[in-house]
Every structure is written in C-alpha cells, then in structure tokens.
Chain A
Amino acid sequence: MKAEQQYIDLFTQYEALLCRNSAEAMNAPRAKAFADFERLGFPTRKEEDYKYTEVGKYFAPDFGLNLNRLEFPVNPYEVFKCDVPNMSTSLYFVVNDTFDKHVHPSAQLPEGVLFGSLKEMARLYPDLIKSYYGKLADTSQDGLTAFNTMFAQDGVLMYVPSGVVMERPVQLVNILRADVDFMVNRRLLVIVEKDAQAKLLVCDHAMDNVNFLSTQVTEVFVGENAVFDLYELEETHNSTVRFNQLFVDQQAGSNVLLNGITLHNGTTRNTTRVTLSGERAEVNLCGMAIADKNEQVDNNTFIDHKVPGCTSNELFKYVLDDQATGAFAGKVLVRPGAQHTSSQQTNRNLCATREARMYTQPQLEIYADDVKCSHGATVGQLDENALFYMQQRGIPLKEARLLLMFAFVGEVIDCIRMEALKDRLHRLVEKRFRGELNKCQGCAICK
C-alpha cells in the first residue's frame, strides 16, 4: 500500500474541497469508492486482468492535481485549427478534465441533445445524471475505477434523446496541459437513448513536455435499436501514462462500434467492458497500436453475452518496433442460456525487433451450446513470399514492407464508419510508419 497511502491521505484531507468543486451526482458515490479503494488498492500484476501492466508504480511519483479547479491559460482554438476537409464534426475541447466553455462555431447539435461539462450538466439535470453515473463503472471490483470515482470532479456528458439521429459526428479533443507533472481524473458519460444514433470521436493529446498521468472512466448506455460509434485516438507522448476504462451496456437491437487507436503514447492501458444486455445487440470492437521506443500498449477487453442472439466481433492489431511492449487480453463470456451467440475475435501482431514483446491472451468462456464462437491470434512477421513477389515487380524491399504494414493495420481503419476519418487515419498511419510523425503534432486530426 505504498503508492496508495498518499492518495488515501489526500482524499481524507481534501474530500470537502473535492466535493465542493464538483456536483452532487458525482459526489454521491465518492465515499463508497474511497472505501473500495482502501480495500482494493491499485491492481497488481498478480491479478489476471493486470498481468501485463503494473499500475501502482505509475501512481507513486508526486503529481499535481487541480482540485481547486483553477483555469489553465490556454485557448484551444488558437492552438488547434480544424481544417480537415469534409470532416464536419461538432468540435469541443477538454483541457485536462475541464470542458472548454468557448463553443466552436462548427458545433451544431440537434434539439434535445446535450453535450457539455458533466459537472454543469449534473447541476442542471441532477436526476438524469444520478440515474446513470457510476451504474456501470463498479468501484467494488477494480481499484482503478474506485480511484477515478474518488477523484473525478468533471468531465463530459453526451446525451442523445430517443429517436434523435445525429448526422454530424461529435469530436472531443482532450488536451493535457500543465507546467508541472500532472494528474487528470476525467469522467465521460454517454447516454444514447432508444432509436437514437450518434458518433463520437475522442482524441487525446499531450501539449507539454511534463509527465502526465490520466485516468478516464467512460460509461456508455445504448438504448434499444440505437446506433453508436466511439472512436478513441491517442496521440500523446512518451511521458504520458493513460488508464482508460470504458464500460458499455447495450440494449436489444443496438449496434455499437468501438475503435481505439494508439498512434503515439507512453504507457497505455485500455480496459473495455461491454455487456450485451438485450437480444440482437451487436458490438464491433476493434483497435490497433503502433508502438516503438519504450511505448507500452495494453488492451484488455471483456465482452459479456448475457442474453441470446447477440453478436460480437473483435479485431486488434499491433505493430511493435524497438523496445515496445504490446499486450492484448480479450475475454468473451457466453452466459448460460445465451444461445445463438455469434462471437469472433482476432488478434494479429507484428514484431519488428528482438526487444519488442508481445503478450496475447484470447479467452473464451462458454456456457451455452448453440453458439458460434472462435478466436485466432498470431504473432509473426510480414509474409516473405509477398515481399519477394513485390520485389520481383520492382518494388524495393523497404517500400514493400511499408505497403504490407499499411495493409496490415488497414483492416482496423477500414472498420471506421466515417469516410473522412478513415482517409485521415490512412494518411496518419503512413506518416507514422515512415517516421514522419515523431511525436504528437498537436491535434493531427485537426491540424
């Protein structure tokens, strides 16, 4: 309990301040989260789910926390000028965990849709937030969830009322900005009601050359027959540590696409928990990581087929260079009675050097017999025959390798249901592989 103690002390000392600068709905689960955290501590590598990422050590150093909600002197619109043609998103910014008040002219929300500071929304619509906040992110199971719930003071709410179809995707740019080593505990709450449709793109960036540690808990509620896409793109730097936890609950007939892309980072742990609670729900969960230097990417996914007739497809790809470490653990649970489940999981990985490490652990736990489930995982290199074939056609080896690498991760990009983003990512990935994207170039999406 070394790393934990300073946070236990901090919480005990500043609980009142934390609460004062947040909202009632967010304060409600704080005490229980604290008790849970005291009991659980940070997850250790002895726990199966955290086998590949040591959590405590990242919390041991001294980080600044903005408990007083001081405003950071930054105008994101000066730093980030969105000029991606055809992207036409409604653009919003979050600096650390504070929703930026300046509303961009591009923002156009259909009537009834709420998008803004979670703290503010919790004050305006306390009942709405109370009935969802913390309902998926169970603090009693995971010390990190408890930690985030203890300290989170703000974040973002996206609320799409039933039947509303949002044509224009919403883009949320998270900017880490600080002059000292800094910790951010952010919360996202997404509610997409019955028959509604929405797309959300979240980009993570780190602006300053300090050590950042961010925890983010996202809860997503998708109602009956609703359609929701969530794209998360990380482009931070080597001294950023990110613990991202995503909880999704899907009602009958809903269709969700989750795509997490790590282009540049320090240490990243993405935990995704999808519960298919209603029949005929479908989730497509994909992700990719391109990592070099000492970057670490750990994706831990869990899909819970609770009821019959649901579909899950999972695709994760890693390209590891230098001393990068990749980990993928994907569990699919088919509960008793969840007949006619269809579940597919694929994890493919390329290691370019001796020092790069890949750990993969696909898991199936099945308690129903009339199901179609499969998983496949590979670690390997580029196809030598394909490389030679290309050379015979006059394509130099280096170029042939690049072509095959684009093709390799291209499969993940092609899952995206936003053409402009797809094109943009193809270009970004090419730049990344060619070494032209050395570190976070501000918001590469928007720049």
Chain B
Amino acid sequence: MLEIKDLHASINGKEILKGINLSVKTGEVHAIMGPNGSGKSTLSNVLVGHPAYEVTRGSVTFDGKDLLAMSPEDRSHEGLFLSFQYPVEIPGVSMVNFMRTAVNEQRKYKGLPALTASEFLKLMRQKREVVELDSKLANRSVNEGFSGGEKKRNEIFQMAMLEPKLSILDETDSGLDIDALRIVAEGVNKLKTPETSCIVITHYQRLLDYIKPDIVHVLYKGRIVKTAGPELALELEEKGYDWIKKELGE
C-alpha cells in the first residue's frame, strides 16, 4: 500500500530524514518508535505533504501512485489520514461545517454526489459513538477549547468520518490519561479492517498494549535502524533507547 524508498527530507535547510525505506502492506499495523528528535513527526508530516518540509531525494508511492506529486488535499482524498500530535484550533469554524466540507470534497473527488444535510448529520451521529464524542463538542468550533483528550478523540472521530486506507497516528497517546487512551485506542481498533493499514508513531509501549503492531521500527537520526516483531517494543520499554545507540557503536 505504502512504499517509501530512500526518502530524504529537510526543514529550513536542515536535513532530518536521511534515507528512509519502509513498506506497509494492506492490513498491516506498523509501529515507529524512537527517541525525541529522531524524525518521527517529520516523517508523518512529509507523508501528508506539509509545506514546511522539503523532500530532497527518494520516492513514496501510495497504492501505486506517486504520493509526493499530490497536493495535501488529494493525499487525503486518496485515503491518507494523519492524526496530528497537536491538532490546531480553528476558531469560528464549526465542526459540522468543517466535516461536511471535508466529507463532500472527498465524495466529489471520488465522483459521488454530496451528502444531504440529514444524511450527513446521521453519519456524524453514528461515527461520534465510535469515540464516545460528546454531541456538544460537535457543535463547537474545530478543537477550540477542547481538552487534550478531547482533541485526540476528535482526531479519531474525523478518521471514522473519512474512512482512510492508511492512518498515521502521531503520538496519539501523548497527553492522554489512561481512560482517554483506552477510548482512543478502542476507537482505532473498531475502525480497523483487513483493507486498512495503520502507522502508529509513539515514544512508549503504552499505546501498543492496545493497538497491537505487526512490525516495529526504530527511527534514529533520520534512519530506520532496526525492524522486528512486536517483541522489539517490549524490549525498548524495558531497556530504553541507549542499547540501540550502543549497538550502533555510539
């Protein structure tokens, strides 16, 4: 589904990603772990096309299409979703208006007719239940005045609405208490189908107790330095990242 080859990317002239190779197949859950500053968030931002990052080398294909050539909105329409680490607040834009525009733009891209107001509201209601999102939140401005947990739940709610093929969860566990973490993780699991894939970016094992990865990668200094099964995450939890640095001869 996703094929990353020798990806180099920089921000403000500083190279952060120094040759990433990664292949995610349909139905797989990948975890990307790594110490702070290793390039985890850069990777997710580059994949969804954040304008601040510049790809200097390499290629990314998504379902066989050249992802890097697409606008951010078309990447979304193709089925790529990022749950942001820090979802932005958009004062004055209601959740309903925001989501309706997003859903209908996707439908337009796919050649489907726009949903009517009542169809849309029905869909909102259904999907809200996935993450137990309060109906009041849905009537507020996007993320405005939401608590940390509410913002993350809102991300998963939007994921439910847009039904992406590949979801990237960027530090979705940060700032969540245990109950919120459970709700968010259960939401993600409910949405998971054999046709969809998921990349979980996290610092800790915690989230991986709920969302079981098939493959775990360690990202360090802009490269994937280790790839193994779920046991790698446990090992990292136990030993920290220092042993990897040692292994790399640092």
Q: Identify the stretch in A185-193, A243-251, A390-398 within 8 Å (CB) of chain B at 4 or more residues.
A: A390-398
Specify which of A383, A384, A399, A408 is in contact with B101 (CB 8 Å cutoff): A399
Contact of A411 with B by CB under 8 A: yes
Interface size on B, residues (CB 8 A): 32
In the complex, chain A residues whose CB is within 8 Å of the CB of B93: 386, 403-404, 406-407
Give, as a whole number of angstroms, the nearest-CB distance from A132 to chain B: 40
In the complex, chain B residues whose CB is within 8 Å of the CB of A395: 73, 98, 101-102, 105
Contact of A359 with B by CB under 8 A: no
- B7-58 contacts to A, CB under 8 A, are 48-51
Contact of B76 with A by CB under 8 A: yes
Q: How far is the CA of A391 from the CA of B73 in the complex (A)?
A: 5
Q: How far is the CA of A390 from the CA of B158 in the complex (A)?
A: 11
Q: How far is the CA of A90 from the CA of B189 in the complex (A)?
A: 59
A388 & B51 in contact (Cβ 8 Å cutoff) = yes
Residue of A nearest to B161 (CB): A393
Given A394-B77, A396-B73, A397-B73, does the pair A389, B90 have CB atoms closer than 8 Å? yes
A386 & B105 in contact (Cβ 8 Å cutoff) = no
Contact of A410 with B by CB under 8 A: yes
Q: How far is the CA of A404 from the CA of B71 in the complex (A)?
A: 19
B72 & A392 in contact (Cβ 8 Å cutoff) = yes
Give, as a whole number of angstroms, the nearest-CB distance from B148 to chain A: 16
In the complex, chain B residues whose CB is within 8 Å of the CB of A404: 90, 92-93
In the complex, chain B residues whose CB is within 8 Å of the CB of A12: none
Specify which of A383, A385, A396, A403 is in contact with B97 (CB 8 Å cutoff): A403
Q: How far is the CA of A59 from the CA of B29 in the complex (A)?
A: 73
Q: How far is the CA of A406 from the CA of B82 in the complex (A)?
A: 25
Contact of B88 with A by CB under 8 A: yes
B162 & A393 in contact (Cβ 8 Å cutoff) = yes
In the complex, chain B residues whose CB is within 8 Å of the CB of A394: 73, 76-77, 102, 105-106, 109, 162
Give, as a whole number of angstroms, the nearest-CB distance from B213 to chain A: 23
Given A397-B71, A403-B98, does the pair A392, B90 have CB atoms closer than 8 Å? no
Given A385-B88, A397-B71, A399-B101, does the pair A392, B82 have CB atoms closer than 8 Å? yes
In the complex, chain B residues whose CB is within 8 Å of the CB of A410: 92
With a 10 A CB-CB cut-off, give which of B76, B99, B162 has the most chain A CB atoms: B76
B105 & A399 in contact (Cβ 8 Å cutoff) = yes
Q: Digit string of A356-398 for contact with B (CB within 8 Å is 1, else 0)?
A: 0000000000000000000000000001111011111111110
Q: How far is the CA of A31 from the CA of B72 in the complex (A)?
A: 68
Give, as a whole number of angstroms, the nearest-CB distance from A407 to chain B: 3
Give, as a whole number of angstroms, the nearest-CB distance from A414 to chain B: 9
In the complex, chain A residues whose CB is within 8 Å of the CB of B84: 389, 392
In the complex, chain B residues whose CB is within 8 Å of the CB of A393: 76, 98-99, 102, 158, 162
Contact of B87 with A by CB under 8 A: yes
Specify which of B72, B91, B92, B97 is in contact with A391 (CB 8 Å cutoff): B72
Q: How far is the CA of A404 from the CA of B98 in the complex (A)?
A: 10
Given A391-B72, A394-B106, A399-B105, does the pair A407, B162 have CB atoms closer than 8 Å? no
In the complex, chain B residues whose CB is within 8 Å of the CB of A406: 92-93
In the complex, chain B residues whose CB is within 8 Å of the CB of A385: 88
Give, as a whole number of angstroms, the nearest-CB distance from B153 to chain A: 16
In the complex, chain A residues whose CB is within 8 Å of the CB of B87: 389
Residue of B nearest to A407 (CB): B92
Give, as a whole number of angstroms, the nearest-CB distance from B165 to chain A: 13
Given A394-B77, A395-B101, A403-B98, does the pair A386, B72 have CB atoms closer than 8 Å? no
Q: How far is the CA of A404 from the CA of B76 in the complex (A)?
A: 19
Q: Digit string of B57-89 for contact with A (CB within 8 Å is 1, else 0)?
A: 000000000000001110111000110100111
A386 & B90 in contact (Cβ 8 Å cutoff) = yes
Give, as a whole number of angstroms, the nearest-CB distance from B47 to chain A: 10
Q: How far is the CA of A396 from the CA of B108 in the complex (A)?
A: 11
In the complex, chain B residues whose CB is within 8 Å of the CB of A390: 90, 98, 101-102
Given A391-B72, A403-B97, does the pair A396, B92 have CB atoms closer than 8 Å? no
B50 & A388 in contact (Cβ 8 Å cutoff) = yes
Q: How far is the CA of A407 from the CA of B89 in the complex (A)?
A: 12
Residue of A nearest to B86 (CB): A385
Q: How far is the CA of A394 from the CA of B48 in the complex (A)?
A: 11
Residue of A nearest to B97 (CB): A403
A396 & B105 in contact (Cβ 8 Å cutoff) = yes
Q: How far is the CA of A63 from the CA of B213 in the complex (A)?
A: 79
Residue of B nearest to A393 (CB): B102
Q: How far is the CA of A411 from the CA of B93 in the complex (A)?
A: 10
With a 10 A CB-CB cut-off, give which of B48, B49, B72, B97 has the most chain A CB atoms: B72
In the complex, chain A residues whose CB is within 8 Å of the CB of B82: 392
Given A399-B105, A407-B93, does the pair A391, B88 have CB atoms closer than 8 Å? no
Q: How far is the CA of A392 from the CA of B90 in the complex (A)?
A: 14
With A388-B50, A393-B99, A394-B105 known, 13 other A-B pairs at CB within 8 A are A383-B88, A390-B98, A391-B73, A392-B48, A392-B72, A394-B102, A395-B101, A396-B71, A397-B73, A403-B98, A404-B93, A406-B93, A411-B92
Query: B interface vs A, CB < 8 Å?
Result: 48-51, 71-73, 75-77, 81-82, 84, 87-93, 97-99, 101-102, 105-106, 109, 141-142, 158, 162
Can you report 27 A-B residue pairs in the complex whose CB atoms are below 8 A from each other? A383-B88, A385-B88, A388-B51, A388-B72, A388-B88, A389-B88, A389-B90, A391-B49, A391-B73, A392-B75, A392-B81, A393-B99, A394-B105, A395-B73, A396-B105, A397-B71, A397-B73, A399-B101, A403-B93, A404-B92, A406-B92, A407-B90, A407-B91, A407-B93, A407-B141, A410-B92, A411-B92
Query: A interface vs B, CB < 8 Å?
Result: 383-386, 388-397, 399, 403-404, 406-408, 410-411
The 10 closest A-B pairs by CB, nearest first: A407-B92, A394-B76, A391-B72, A393-B102, A385-B88, A407-B93, A386-B90, A391-B73, A389-B88, A394-B106
